[in-house]
C-alpha cells in the first residue's frame, strides 16, 4: 500500500511538469520512501511509516481535488468525480484499536482506495488530451460506472 500511494503521488506530482522537475520530484519521493521503508523493516517501528503514509494520502487528495476543479468544467461531473475520489481516500484512512482484527480489512480497503485513486488520476491526466473516450472500459465497478456517466454527460448521451 505504501508503494501504491507513492506511485500515485509520483504521477500526480510529475504530471505536466518539465523533465528537470520530474527528475527532482522523483528523487525526492524515492529519497523519502526508501529510507522510511528500510527503517520500518529494520526497526519494526510503525509510527514513521503511518505518518508518511497518511501524509502521502493527504497530498494525493489535495492534488486530486485541485485537478478536478481545474479540469472538469461541469459542476455535476465534478461532484461525481470528487465523490468517487473521496470514497477512495476514505477507504485508505480506516484504522483503529485492535488492529490485529482489522489488519486484513485495512489492507483490502486500502487496496480498493488505491485502485480508485489510480483510476481517478488516470482519468484526470487524460481528460485534457481528449483521450477519455471509452476509458471506463479499462476499469471495474464503481469506477467504470462513474466514468461512463461522466463521459455520457459531457457528450449529451444517455449513460449505458
Q: What is the pLDDT of residue 159?
A: 45
Domain spans of the chain, in order of start: 2-155
Q: Are 77 and 150 in contact (CB under 8 A)?
A: yes
SS3 assignment, position 157 = coil
Q: Are 85 and 117 in contact (CB under 8 A)?
A: yes
Q: What is the pLDDT of residue 1?
A: 76
Report the alpha-carbon distance of residue 38 to residue 4 in Å, rounded: 16
What are the binding residues for Zn(2+)?
107
Q: Kindly compute the dihedral angle of the four CA atoms of residues 43, 24, 65, 146, in this order, to the nearest 10 degrees.
A: -90
pLDDT tens sequence for the chain (160 residues): 788 888 889 989 988 899 999 999 999 999 999 999 999 989 988 888 889 988 998 898 899 889 888 888 888 888 888 888 777 666 565 544 455 555 667 777 777 788 888 888 887 877 665 555 555 556 666 666 676 666 555 555 544 4
Instruction: Give per-residue burial for 145-157: e unless 16+ CB within 10 Å, then b.
Output: bbbbbbbeeeeee
The sign of the dihedral angle between the CA atoms of 67, 69, 75, 79 is positive
Measure CA 78 to chain center: 16
What are the binding residues?
107
Report the alpha-carbon distance of residue 3 to residue 95 in Å, rounded: 18
Q: What is the pLDDT of residue 38?
A: 93
The sign of the dihedral angle between the CA atoms of 108, 111, 116, 119 is negative
Residues 6+ apart with CB under 8 A from 9: 29, 56, 59, 60, 63
Amino acid at each position: 500500500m505504501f508503494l501504491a500511494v507513492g506511485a500515485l503521488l509520483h504521477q500526480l506530482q510529475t504530471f505536466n511538469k518539465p523533465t528537470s522537475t520530474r527528475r527532482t520530484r522523483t528523487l525526492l519521493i524515492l529519497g523519502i520512501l526508501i529510507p522510511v521503508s528500510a527503517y520500518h523493516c529494520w526497526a519494526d517501528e510503525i509510527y514513521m511509516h503511518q505518518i508518511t503514509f497518511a501524509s502521502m494520502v493527504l497530498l494525493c487528495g489535495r492534488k486530486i481535488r485541485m485537478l478536478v476543479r481545474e479540469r472538469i468544467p461541469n459542476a455535476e461531473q465534478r461532484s461525481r468525480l470528487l465523490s468517487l475520489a473521496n470514497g477512495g481516500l476514505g477507504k485508505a484512512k480506516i484504522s483503529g484499536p485492535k488492529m490485529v482484527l482489522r489488519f486484513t480489512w485495512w489492507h483490502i480497503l486500502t487496496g480498493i482506495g488505491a485502485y480508485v485513486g489510480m483510476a481517478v488520476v488516470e482519468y484526470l491526466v487524460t481528460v485534457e488530451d481528449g483521450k477519455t473516450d471509452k476509458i471506463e472500459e479499462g476499469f471495474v465497478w464503481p469506477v467504470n460506472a462513474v466514468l461512463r456517466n461522466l463521459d455520457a454527460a459531457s457528450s449529451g448521451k444517455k449513460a449505458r
